[in-house]
A and B are shown apart, each in its own frame.
Chain A
Amino acid sequence: MITSILLTGVGGQGTILTTKILSAGLAQMGYDVKMSEIHGMSQRGGTVNTQLKFGDKVYAPNIGEGEADLIVAFEKTEALRALPYLKKGGSILMDRKEIMPLSVLTGAAEYPHEADKELEKLVGAKVIPAGEIAESLGTPKSQNICLLGALVKALDLPEFDWEGLISRMVPPKTVEMNLAAFRKGLEA
């Protein structure tokens, strides 16, 4: 039994660190874990996808279309963009945070503000306002760890010592704020 998770966001949102923490936790729990990321050109303000698969034995590291059990989107339209990867019956965990791509800034495309509503209706997407939670904590950058909290809850793996792991893996100065965001995410 393999669980496939696609994490998607915009360069700079911390999707890769989130995936690293999740992989490390799953590996410590004894799962075989493979994580795949595409970087290079994608970090210049483009979409960033990381893919994680875990189970007894994982072969292929990447997730094809229609294969993801769970999509975690750090940005509203990125959830929409990743939709083809979702398995029928799979679920979406998403932030409603909006980051305008240049195509919208230049007027070449329109931003679909109602994407979260659409995905709620279509596949029962769960919307976690992680960006807003992080901002209310005064630490907008901890959006990713807030989503990690919600993700751990969605995977039903809250009993592992995630807080210890986060403390070791985020920059030392940000431990407290990230732990606060993580707890909020668990409750959300």
Chain B
Amino acid sequence: MSGDEAVARGAWEAGVGVAAAYPGTPSTEILENMALYKEDVYCQWANNEKIAVEIALGASFGGLRSLAAFKHVGMNAAADPIFSAAYTGVNGGMVLVSADDPGCWSSQNEQDNRLYAPHARLGMLEPSDSQECLDFTKAAFELSERFDLLMLLRMTTRVCHSKSLVEQGERQEHMGKYTANPAKYAMLPANARKRHVAVEEGLAALKEYAETSPLNRMEMNDRKLGIISSGISYQHAREAFGETASYLKLGITHPLPEKLIRDFCGQVEKVVVIEEGEPYLEEAVKALGIFCEGKAYTTRQGELSAARLRAAFGLGEAAESVSSSLTAPPRPPALCAGCPHRGFYFAMQSYHQRLVAVGDIGCYSLGVGEPFHGFDTAICMGSGFSIPIGLSKALEKQGDSRKVFGILGDSTFFHSGFNSLVDAVHAKANVCLVVLDNSITAMTGHQQNAGTEINLMGYQVPAIDIRRMVRSTGLPEERVLEVDPIDQAAMNAAIQKALGDRETWVILSRRPCALLKEVIKARGDLRCEVDPAACKGCKACTKVVCPALTFDAKAKKAVISDPASCTGCGLCMQQCRFDAIRKVGGKA
């Protein structure tokens, strides 16, 4: 069972009644697996992480146990309700799950969300394998209710996506009751001041509990070296140092058990803190007046591994590997064959002299570098529509006549892009905002969003129409252009129109993701074929850089080298001046 699956299982066993999230690697599978228990648990993909936390908070106020999950950067979007909900405390137990991504496997930064716990005044647990993911999730619900605290379960990629053996239990139903209590739940200044006292009392009580909790444990071996660690870092340390060191393995990492730490450090000669990311534990131990080392050995960047620790601490012989004089050609992730985004980027690249493009977070981020140089900046969800406002004002002041194009996807539009669109229209910004609407949240593996007719639990729901939302800003119909991105004539015309004046424009680039099940089914065996007799070997079609199409250098002809992945979108066909490419197959 993966860590994500185990969290879902643990929450279900704990009797959770409502779970909400916005998808984000490596946290996505938590809600996907939670939805397997939809008979017992109401599950929802919220439009963003703030909304997910608020949905869970409402359920907690209502007396149900609730969970909200997000990737590390999602917690930034959700910070607003979290900091105040920490004061209100809970009715039904409430657990936030943050999946951090040291090493940026699929993220824009590697922030360490443990720092949120002391800042927002949350209790925090850190599991180190799948069994602990299940056990700690259950414990988090109990601690949340016992100490009236919002609990943070902090995971990392290797905990989320590693699989290990898990013993499961049964579900225990948990049904509270809603009772109005504005003094506790309505955070006006007079109430908030009192609740700030209450939350500190809850944390003090949790700290006392942590001193003797089985979630923290000492493993005493050789006492020359004592290692303090938590989460996946403990596993790396345990593997690298084995029984040559003693360990204080912390499961509760906020508040920290001061007496336990002092006790452990008193029993060993030298103390080392091993942790990925920020020196969170190290600084806390130092603040107790205990000498220890940590970041002197490892950096804030990247993941740890046993090998990295062995090298850093000079343990045993350095791992030796073999090297070859050959190098493997780079194989970064790329837009798939038939990807609708390719059509947009291919068309836009002809206008790079006349525009500056701003991107966002999603599959379309893959358009950033070679071969299309799709955009210059990518920061966070929704920023693709707000950065253009400021950037357009900057260019204007400099007398730079280029128009700023903002690019984001349907899910990003619902996440927060719409708010930015409203501001852009209101500001009369000289921008063209493009929604690359592929009818799904694709990058994280096809999660439903507000634009889909089916929700996470598989039920029919009203799909929200992006076009009507855009029109609701009062943008005139003629400046909202809906285009199939594969249709190059139409896409070129749309881009030219938007470049023709200094008004605000919106392009809705609409075509569903080529990998959607229903799209695959409707497509049948539709694909493109190159007629070698007609192909002149001009390579015009290869400019679309599709993984299904190759140029056969020997025959000097283009060839659909991977017909199984070709979707017959026909983008390459539109480049051919000799009618050498045609569509074949497909359902009647």
Give residues in A with beta carbon < 8 Å to B.
10-12, 20, 23, 27, 32-47, 58-67, 77-78, 80-81, 83-88, 100-106, 108-112, 114-115, 118-119, 122-123
- CB distance B164 to A60 under 8 Å? no
Measured between C-beta atoms, what is the minimum distance from B382 to chain A in Å? 20
Return the contact of A59 from the options B238, B322, B551 (Cβ within 8 A): B238
Q: Which residue from chain A places its CB closest to the CB of B107 in the assembled complex?
A: A40
Return the contact of A35 from the options B163, B330, B547 (Cβ within 8 A): B163
Which bracket fits the contact residues of B? 35 or more
Measured between C-beta atoms, what is the minimum distance from B375 to chain A in Å? 17
Note all chain B residues with C-beta closer than 8 A to A10: 331
- CB distance A32 to B165 under 8 Å? yes
Give the residues from 47 to 69 in chain B that come closer than 8 angstroms, CB to CB, to chain A.
none
- CB distance B542 to A105 under 8 Å? yes
- CB distance A106 to B162 under 8 Å? no
Q: Which residue from chain B places its CB closest to the CB of A113 in the assembled complex?
A: B326
Measured between C-beta atoms, what is the minimum distance from A114 to chain B in Å? 7
* Given known contacts A40-B25, A100-B550, A105-B547, A118 and B326 CB-to-CB distance under 8 angstroms: yes
Task: Report how far A44 CA is from B342 CA in the complex, Å.
Answer: 13
Note all chain B residues with C-beta closer than 8 A to A108: 329, 370
Note all chain A residues with C-beta closer than 8 A to B331: 10, 45-47, 77-78, 81, 101-103
- Give the residue among A102, A106, A114 with the most B Cβ atoms within 10 A: A102
Task: Report how far A105 CA is from B379 CA in the complex, Å.
Answer: 30
Q: List 23 A-B contacts (CB under 8 A).
A: A35-B163, A39-B25, A40-B25, A41-B25, A41-B333, A42-B105, A44-B335, A45-B336, A58-B164, A60-B232, A60-B240, A61-B158, A61-B164, A62-B305, A63-B307, A77-B329, A77-B331, A84-B323, A87-B320, A105-B545, A111-B329, A112-B329, A114-B326
Task: Report how far A101 CA is from B328 CA in the complex, Å.
Answer: 10
Return the contact of A110 from the options B25, B318, B329, B335 (Cβ within 8 A): B329
Note all chain B residues with C-beta closer than 8 A to A65: 307, 319, 321
Give residues in B with beta carbon < 8 Å to A.
25-26, 105-106, 129, 157-158, 161-165, 232, 235-236, 238-240, 303, 305-308, 318-336, 363, 366, 370-371, 443-445, 542, 545, 547, 550-551, 561, 565
Note all chain B residues with C-beta closer than 8 A to A119: 324
- CB distance A80 to B26 under 8 Å? no
Note all chain A residues with C-beta closer than 8 A to B240: 60
- Give the residue among B164, B336, B547 with the most A Cβ atoms within 10 A: B164
- CB distance A87 to B542 under 8 Å? no
- Give the residue among A38, A61, A100, A108 with the most B Cβ atoms within 10 A: A61
Q: Which residue from chain A places its CB closest to the CB of B339 in the assembled complex?
A: A44
Task: Report how far A106 CA is from B240 CA in the complex, Å.
Answer: 43
Note all chain A residues with C-beta closer than 8 A to B336: 44-45
Note all chain A residues with C-beta closer than 8 A to B303: 62
Task: Report how far A23 CA is from B325 CA in the complex, Å.
Answer: 34
Measured between C-beta atoms, what is the minimum distance from A113 to chain B in Å? 10
* Given known contacts A35-B163, A36-B162, A86-B322, A102 and B235 CB-to-CB distance under 8 angstroms: no
- CB distance B363 to A44 under 8 Å? yes
Task: Report how far A77 CA is from B329 CA in the complex, Å.
Answer: 8
Measured between C-beta atoms, what is the minimum distance from A9 to chain B in Å? 10
Return the contact of B327 from the options A64, A67, A104, A112 (Cβ within 8 A): A112
- CB distance B333 to A42 under 8 Å? yes
- CB distance A44 to B323 under 8 Å? no
Return the contact of A38 from the options B105, B165, B329 (Cβ within 8 A): B105
Q: Which 3 A-B pairs have the closest CB atoms?
A: A64-B307, A66-B319, A40-B106
Note all chain A residues with C-beta closer than 8 A to B157: 38
Return the contact of B334 from the options A37, A46, A58 (Cβ within 8 A): A46
- CB distance A66 to B326 under 8 Å? no
Measured between C-beta atoms, what is the minimum distance from A67 to chain B in Å? 5
- CB distance A104 to B329 under 8 Å? yes
In addition to A32-B164, A66-B318, 20 A-B residue pairs with Cβ atoms within 8 Å of each other are A35-B162, A41-B106, A44-B333, A45-B331, A45-B547, A46-B332, A47-B331, A59-B235, A59-B239, A66-B319, A81-B331, A86-B322, A88-B320, A102-B371, A102-B545, A103-B331, A105-B542, A106-B370, A111-B329, A118-B324
Task: Report how far A106 CA is from B219 CA in the complex, Å.
Answer: 55
Task: Report how far A80 CA is from B325 CA in the complex, Å.
Answer: 10
Note all chain A residues with C-beta closer than 8 A to B318: 66
Task: Report how far A106 CA is from B305 CA in the complex, Å.
Answer: 35
Return the contact of A23 from the options B163, B306, B443 (Cβ within 8 A): B163
- CB distance B163 to A87 under 8 Å? no
- Give the residue among B25, B26, B158, B371 with the most A Cβ atoms within 10 A: B158
- CB distance A40 to B105 under 8 Å? yes
- CB distance A61 to B329 under 8 Å? no
- CB distance B305 to A64 under 8 Å? yes
Task: Report how far A48 CA is from B161 CA in the complex, Å.
Answer: 13
Task: Report how far A44 CA is from B339 CA in the complex, Å.
Answer: 11
Task: Report how far A85 CA is from B113 CA in the complex, Å.
Answer: 30
Task: Report how far A37 CA is from B159 CA in the complex, Å.
Answer: 10
- CB distance A64 to B329 under 8 Å? no
Note all chain A residues with C-beta closer than 8 A to B550: 100, 105
Note all chain B residues with C-beta closer than 8 A to A106: 370-371, 545
Return the contact of B308 from the options A64, A101, A105 (Cβ within 8 A): A64
- CB distance B327 to A80 under 8 Å? yes
Return the contact of A101 from the options B238, B321, B329 (Cβ within 8 A): B329
Task: Report how far A68 CA is from B161 CA in the complex, Å.
Answer: 19
- Give the residue among B238, B306, B318, B370 with the most A Cβ atoms within 10 A: B306
- Give the residue among B105, B165, B331, B445 with the most A Cβ atoms within 10 A: B331
Note all chain B residues with C-beta closer than 8 A to A46: 331-334
Task: Report how far A40 CA is from B101 CA in the complex, Å.
Answer: 11
- CB distance B161 to A36 under 8 Å? yes
